Each structure stands twice: as structure tokens, then as C-alpha cells.
Amino acid sequence: MNDDLVFKALADPTRRLLLDRLYEKNGQTLGQLCENLDMARQSATQHLEILEDANLVSTVKRGREKLHFINPVPLFEVYERWVRKFEHRGLSLLHDLKKELEKDAK
């Protein structure tokens, strides 16, 4: 997995929105993904290509349609590599800070 491609893909709010839409309803066509978005199909296609390059989206052809599916595996790998190891320590530090601030406020 190339973390750089995943982070690049996730850095853009439009691509995150497209992933959110696929999470809500997987297997959408380009037209369905563009519904209610202020975006040209060409722009959406470019965003989807970046998501595909990062392996966050895969496609399946069904007749003349191309269906887009979310692939959560790269997100899980990023979580395991970059988020999980910091969770416990970070949350413990926040908890300790909260206790100190509450003690000082009394």
C-alpha cells in the first residue's frame, strides 16, 4: 500500500465527500455520485481516478455503466499504521489534562 496516495486522496474535501456518498450507498454510477453536487462530471471523474489510484475505490462495468465501490482496506491500513498506536497514549494524556484543569478550576 502506498500511504502517500491514500493521504493525497483523503486531503481533498470533494474526494472525502465522494467516499461518504459511497459509504452511504455503495455501487453508484458517476451520474448518481454527481447528483446534488455542484460539480461537472469531468471533475468528479478526475477525483474518482485519484481515489482509484489510492485503491480507495474500485469499479465494475455493468453493461454501459461503470459502478463505483468503496474499498475500506487502505483506510484500515492507515488507521492501523498511523492512528491506532497514538490513540491510547493520546487519550490518556487528554484525560490527565482534563483532570488537572478541573482541579485548577476549583
pLDDT for 31 equals: 92
Q: Which domain holds residue 89?
A: 3-105
Residue that is written with C-alpha cell 465501490 in the block: 69
* CA 50 remoteness from chain centre: 12
- Check residues 45 and 95 and name the one with the higher pLDDT: 45
- Alpha carbon dihedral 45, 51, 34, 37, in 10-degree steps, equals -110
Q: In whole angstroms, what is the distance from residue 98 CA to residue 105 CA?
A: 11
User: In CATH, what number is assigned to the domain containing residue 63?
Assistant: 1.10.10.10
**Per-residue confidence (pLDDT) for residue 39, from 0 to 100:** 84
Closest CA to 18 of 2, 33, 38, 1: 33
Q: What is the pLDDT of residues 47-98, one digit of tens each?
A: 999 999 999 999 999 999 999 999 999 999 998 888 787 777 777 787 788 8
Q: Mean pLDDT for the chain?
A: 89
**pTM to 2 decimals?**
0.78
Total domains in the chain come to 1
HSE, CB side, 13 Å, CA atoms: give it for residue 70. Answer: 17
